[in-house]
Structure 1
Amino acid sequence: MSRLLHRDTVPPVPAAELTARSADGSRIHVELHGPEDAPAVVLAHGWTCNTRFWDAQIRDLAADHRVIAYDQRGHGLTPAPGPGGYSTHALADDLEAVLAATLAPGRRAVLAGHSMGGMTVMAAAARPGLREHAAAVLLCSTGSTRLAAEATVLPLRAGALRTRLTTAVLGAKAPLGPVNPVSRRILKYATMGAGSAPDRVDSCARIVHACPRRARVEWGHVLGELDLAAGVRELRVPTAVIAGTDDRLTPPVHARAIAAALPVGLGLTELAGVGHMTPMEAPEAVTARIRDLVTRYVATGAAAERKAVTAEKEDVA
């Protein structure tokens, strides 16, 4: 048991790391895990998180997938951005840069985005880079618009007052301070389900509290004004949606609206009792959905391509 716990607390060691250059010159830290020629998966984390947020998925998938995970600008090992600053346009630029730096022309992958990572995918939906490389998409615990209006983190009746106060919380400049029993309880209430295991709450708290204050504040302002409804309609690849029924930051109303508007929707999975941090709270369910998308849209496509090439060589012979 102790060996298993130790394994789950030590971050996965990447096979390689690289720096992608975004359109404004910003440096984006990227980790590469698993066999280089295996079916590819790209992971985009959410607000106040970093690549460690996906550790459970990386551990599982890297055995037989090429897993590409990167730190959003201002998070983790990615420094504060260049002139492009903080915007959904910049998120799309960064994702395109990561795809170009890690995938050969025409190579396709499953893209999984959690929270702001899902918004990143929606922001890039019409970009040539995404349309070239995205075979399928998984959107986890995310929304496309009206985040402050729909959030239920503050126990107030829906309306203008709650929206104003939630917007202020998203952009609050106060430091989060150290991880302690009080801060863990606050984070669990705001972002996780009541039944979340203490070790997962602790891991989540350490990730969130490690986020630089400037990045948290600047991205909080962006989220407060988010409108990516057009991006949902432009996401013309097979797309599945996952949400927790107890998500207070992006309640299931967002997931239902996205699932209904997707041009090639694969349905919505609602995880009972789970909060906003689905990849950490329900890692098995999220990983299984990614694997399913790879099997249906990447691995089968690669196998068909290999079969066609073999047949062509046999015809020539």
Structure 2
Amino acid sequence: MNKKRVGLVGAAIGTAGAVGVGAAVAARRYAVGRERLRPDPDRDEPFGELRGRPQTVVATDGVPLHVEVNGPDDASLTVVFSHGYCMTQDSWHYQRRDLADEADVRMVFWDQRSHGRSGRSDLAHATIDQCGDDLLAVIEATTAPGRPVVLVGHSMGGMTIMALADRHPELFGDRVAGVALVNTSSGGLAELTLGLPEVFGKVFRAAVPGVVRGIGKGGKLVDRGRRIGTDVAFVITRRMAFADRAVSPSIVDFVERMIGSTPIEVIADFYPTLAAHDKLAALDVLRKVPAVVVVGDQDRLTPLAHGRAIAAALPEAELVELSGGHVVMLERPQVVTDAIAGLVERARPFAEERSA
């Protein structure tokens, strides 16, 4: 595979966000300009600037995890937010902003290993299972022993919660009092076609492993190509991450910056664990607690059928289907925030009952 092809496909993988694999996008500069000139009601939103009290949590293999805490330390309930592949804790911007006034709640945000401000993982520990152990380390380091938590995860963050349930089922119904799964999957991501017809999807799936290996070997070259191709990255991001063509260009830019800041080698490192992810059996553990499943009807990365499959495995869970793409917490923030706030209220009596 020549360097040019690896570079182009690598840029698309970085932009895809959850399972990331890319297709060539023919985007003329005038078309990109037209997209950027759309109405931008969120232009003054301080994306990436909302911060909490910083804390470093050391993972079991020594990787430092960057954590931030918002809200009173004596709150009766803590909500821990786990972000998705190629993103950072800042992807929860609107939820951090709008849940700040929620009574008697503190929020914990963290960057998953190799993402954002957290330390770089070696390849052997770039796995969903290790991320589940990381989440446990974050809970234990930021929450007093025995205090209840609600877990919220988007995309890979939802898979991280499933890994925690798989490896530490005793926590659910005890420490864990509620779970929100947003645009995620319990498995089958290796069959992803990104909305392509099945005949093209087969070719797409066959090509991905070789492309990912090439990216891992030529990471620095691909990263340079990504920086040069920012206009194309903008168009791919809007296409892959959002359903609404009228989404504010500032939000698209924000998502593209998060993805673009993730080294291509990290994207390559985590792809195999995402493709192999299979935690359907772990969903049985989540039946012990109140849950909400949020799905976007035009999500190309963890499609609607994946969210419905999770909801079917959690018959007592609230299922929220909304018009949106893969990053609904940014595209439809109020709906997602309301779903989380509703879960918190459902979890309160559950947590009180368990602690009585």
Alpha-carbon spacing, 1:237–1:151, altered in 2? closer, same or farther (3 Å): farther
Q: CA deviation at 1:19?
A: 1.2
For residue 282 of structure 2, give the secondary structure of its aligned residue in structure 1: helix
Q: Identify the residue that residue 191 of structure 1 maps to in structure 2.
A: 241
Q: Identify the residue that residue 55 of structure 1 maps to in structure 2.
A: 93
Letter in 2 for 1:59: R
Q: CA deviation at 1:133?
A: 2.3
Contact 2:132-2:164 at 8 Å conserved across structures? yes
Alpha-carbon spacing, 1:182–1:82, altered in 2? closer, same or farther (3 Å): closer
Q: CA deviation at 1:209?
A: 0.6
Q: Identify the residue that residue 214 of structure 1 maps to in structure 2.
A: 265
For residue 53 of structure 1, give the secondary structure of its aligned residue in structure 2: helix
1:32 aligned to which of 69, 77, 82: 69
Alpha-carbon spacing, 1:157–1:31, altered in 2? closer, same or farther (3 Å): same
Q: CA deviation at 1:52?
A: 0.9
Quick one: distance in 2 between partners of 1:162 and 1:10?
34
Alpha-carbon spacing, 1:169–1:198, altered in 2? closer, same or farther (3 Å): farther
Q: CA deviation at 1:303?
A: 6.7
**Cα deviations across residues 10-55 of structure 1 (Å, max 9, x unaligned)?**
61121x1111122222211111012222331110000000011111
Q: Identify the residue that residue 311 of structure 1 maps to in structure 2.
A: none
Quick one: distance in 1 between partners of 2:170 and 2:265?
29
1:93 aligned to which of 133, 155, 159: 133
**Cα deviations across residues 43-85 of structure 1 (Å, max 9, x unaligned)?**
0000000011111110111233311000000000111125851
* Range 238-247 or range 189-198, more displaced: 189-198
Contact 1:114-1:142 at 8 Å conserved across structures? yes
Contact 2:88-2:111 at 8 Å conserved across structures? yes
Contact 1:177-1:209 at 8 Å conserved across structures? yes
Quick one: distance in 1 between partners of 2:47 and 2:113?
25
Q: CA deviation at 1:229?
A: 1.5
Quick one: distance in 2 between partners of 1:158 and 1:267?
35
Q: CA deviation at 1:5?
A: 4.8
For residue 85 of structure 2, give the secondary structure of its aligned residue in structure 1: coil
Letter in 2 for 1:239: A
**Cα deviations across residues 91-125 of structure 1 (Å, max 9, x unaligned)?**
11100000000111111121110000000001111
Structure 1's consecutive aligned runs of 4 or more residues displaced over 4 angstroms after TM superposition are: 2-5, 153-156, 166-172, 301-306
Q: Identify the residue that residue 136 of structure 1 maps to in structure 2.
A: 178
1:219-298 equivalences under 5 Å are: 219-235=270-286, 236-262=288-314, 265-272=316-323, 274-298=324-348
Alpha-carbon spacing, 1:109–1:280, altered in 2? closer, same or farther (3 Å): same
TM-score, length-normalised on structure 1?
Answer: 0.86
Please give the root-mean-square deviation of Cα atoms over the aligned residues, in Å: 2.6
Number of aligned pairs? 302
Q: Identify the residue that residue 165 of structure 1 maps to in structure 2.
A: 207
Letter in 2 for 1:245: D
Quick one: distance in 2 between partners of 1:265 and 1:303?
20
TM-score, length-normalised on structure 2?
Answer: 0.77
Alpha-carbon spacing, 1:26–1:238, altered in 2? closer, same or farther (3 Å): same
**Cα deviations across residues 205-226 of structure 1 (Å, max 9, x unaligned)?**
1111111222211111211222
Q: CA deviation at 1:158?
A: 6.7
Structure 2: gaps of 5 or more residues: 1-39, 216-221
Q: Relative contact order (C-alpha < 8 Å, sep 6+): which is higher?
A: 2
* Range 223-232 or range 243-252, more displaced: 223-232
1:177 and 2:226 are equivalent in the alignment: yes
1:77 aligned to which of 117, 140, 143: 117
Q: CA deviation at 1:265?
A: 3.3
Letter in 1 for 2:308: R
Contact 1:96-1:130 at 8 Å conserved across structures? no
1:118 and 2:158 are equivalent in the alignment: yes
Q: CA deviation at 1:289?
A: 0.7
Quick one: distance in 2 between partners of 1:163 and 1:83?
22
Alpha-carbon spacing, 1:166–1:245, altered in 2? closer, same or farther (3 Å): farther
1:13-28 equivalences under 5 Å are: 13-14=51-52, 16-28=53-65
Contact 1:135-1:297 at 8 Å conserved across structures? yes
Contact 1:167-1:224 at 8 Å conserved across structures? no
